[in-house]
């Protein structure tokens, strides 16, 4: 059996989905940074869904749902996206091999739990992890560019199959995708303005109180209500927020720093000082989220005399500043 091996650019990224998109396009000579991908996709968000429980704790996210970065960036940049799902596992693996043999770089949606190269403490039942396969070695192991890792990795076929076809919430169903660089590149200036406008609009939240700035206030209110709950429960609730904000591939402060990086890059590209100012303000917003995380954990540790009110107040400060950020973005993108 021949061992296909394609040329790639592997750059470590903060987030799996924006990282795979950036690496896939960069490998084809379409230069685009991870923050630019994230920003163009208008992926910045805040979500608090108390009724959706993950491991018994409410779902909290700082970005748009999985797969939205892939689809919106491809649409914006006229990248041809071909994706496939499979009901038969062996067919799914065969299609992957064929695409590799044809010199394609293949994006896959996988479950983190079944990827053996992940450290033990990071393996959870999470089905929406993205990676890029670029070849296969003599032993039949797949060569993988997993964007959240410093270097490329390998994975045995059996494990990769398990990871692609793990069942459950957000099940990948073997999803694989290929991107083809467009012949004509789109005008980034126009797309940047559009995407910032969209983010600004969404930041206010939708009708329901679970999204954007409304969602942040809603979460603050919930923290206040935990006042009489058992210590253990409060601790798990707060540490869950911190984990979603910092641990789960966000580039720090729940993607706020990545978004600030996008604004910074956009300001240099468009030679727009105003945008650089907004980037600096976004950094301040990110710093405030980090401060909130610190207070939440200090409360869990019961060190110093920090009250639950101080924790929720710190979260409200984030919401207030996101309101200001929204106004700035809206005014700029008008």
Q: What is the DSSP letter of 113?
A: G
> Restricting to residues 149-188, which ones interact with another protein according to CB under 8 A?
149-150, 162, 166-169, 171
Asked if 235 is part of the footprint of another protein (rule: CB under 8 A), the reply reads yes
Listed residue (78, 14, 15, 18) closest to 42, CA to CA: 18
**Given candidates 7, 94, 221, 301, which one binds another protein under the rule CB under 8 A?**
301
Strand, helix or coil at 133? strand
Cα separation of 205 and 188, whole Å?
26
Asked if 230 is part of the footprint of another protein (rule: CB under 8 A), the reply reads no
Asked if 199 is part of the footprint of another protein (rule: CB under 8 A), the reply reads no
Asked if 35 is part of the footprint of another protein (rule: CB under 8 A), the reply reads yes
Q: Minimum distance between the CB of residue 204 and another protein, rounded to whole angstroms?
A: 25
Q: Do the bridges between strand 153-155 and strand 142-145 make them parallel or antiparallel, or are there none, so unpaired?
A: antiparallel
Query: In the block, which residue shows the tokens 């969209």?
Result: 198
Q: Minimum distance between the CB of residue 202 and another protein, rounded to whole angstroms?
A: 21
Give the full edge-to-edge strand order of the sheet including 153-155.
Answer: 80-84, 176-180, 106-110, 129-136, 142-145, 153-155
Which range touches another protein (CB under 8 A), out of 180-188, 248-256, 310-318, 319-327? Answer: 248-256
Asked if 330 is part of the footprint of another protein (rule: CB under 8 A), the reply reads no
Pick 81 or 171: Cβ nearer another protein: 171
Listed residue (59, 72, 169, 57) closest to 111, CA to CA: 169
Listed residue (252, 251, 281, 250) closest to 264, CA to CA: 281
Residue 78 sits at φ, ψ, to 5 deg, of 60, 30
Interface ranges with another protein (CB under 8 A): 12-14, 34-35, 53-56, 113-114, 119-125, 148-150, 162, 166-169, 171, 235-236, 239-240, 242-243, 246-247, 249, 251-253, 257-258, 260-261, 264-265, 268, 279-280, 283, 286-287, 290, 293-294, 297, 300-301
């Amino acid at each position: 059996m021949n061992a296909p091996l394609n040329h790639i650019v592997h750059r470590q990224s903060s987030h799996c989905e924006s990282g795979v998109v950036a690496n896939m396009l960069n490998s084809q000579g379409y230069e685009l940074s991870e923050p630019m991908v994230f920003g163009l996709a208008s992926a910045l968000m805040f979500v608090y869904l108390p009724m959706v429980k993950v491991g018994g704790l409410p779902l909290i996210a700082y970005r748009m749902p999985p797969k939205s970065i892939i689809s919106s960036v491809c649409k914006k940049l006229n990248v041809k996206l071909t994706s496939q799902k499979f009901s038969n596992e062996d067919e799914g693996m065969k299609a992957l091999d064929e695409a590799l043999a044809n010199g394609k770089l293949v994006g896959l949606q996988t479950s983190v739990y079944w990827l053996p190269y992940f450290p033990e403490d990071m393996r959870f039942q999470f089905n929406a992890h993205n990676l890029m396969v670029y070849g296969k070695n003599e032993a039949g192991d797949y060569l993988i560019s997993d964007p959240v890792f410093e270097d490329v990795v390998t994975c045995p076929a059996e494990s990769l199959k398990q990871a692609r076809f793990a069942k459950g919430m957000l099940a990948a169903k073997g999803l694989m995708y290929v991107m083809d660089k467009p012949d004509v590149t789109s005008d980034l200036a126009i797309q940047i303005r559009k995407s910032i406008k969209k983010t600004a609009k969404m930041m206010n939240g939708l009708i329901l109180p679970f999204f954007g700035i409304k969602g942040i206030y809603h979460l603050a209110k919930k923290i206040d209500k935990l006042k009489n709950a058992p210590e253990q429960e409060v601790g798990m609730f707060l540490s869950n927020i911190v984990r979603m904000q910092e641990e789960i591939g966000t580039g720090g402060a729940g993607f706020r720093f990545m978004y600030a990086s996008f604004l910074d890059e956009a300001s240099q590209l468009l030679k727009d000082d105003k945008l650089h100012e907004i980037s600096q303000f976004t950094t301040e917003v990110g710093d405030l989220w980090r401060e909130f995380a610190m207070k939440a954990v200090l409360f869990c540790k019961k060190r110093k005399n920090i009250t639950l009110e101080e924790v929720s107040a710190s979260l409200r400060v984030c919401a207030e500043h996101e309101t200001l950020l929204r106004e700035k973005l809206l005014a700029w993108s008008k």
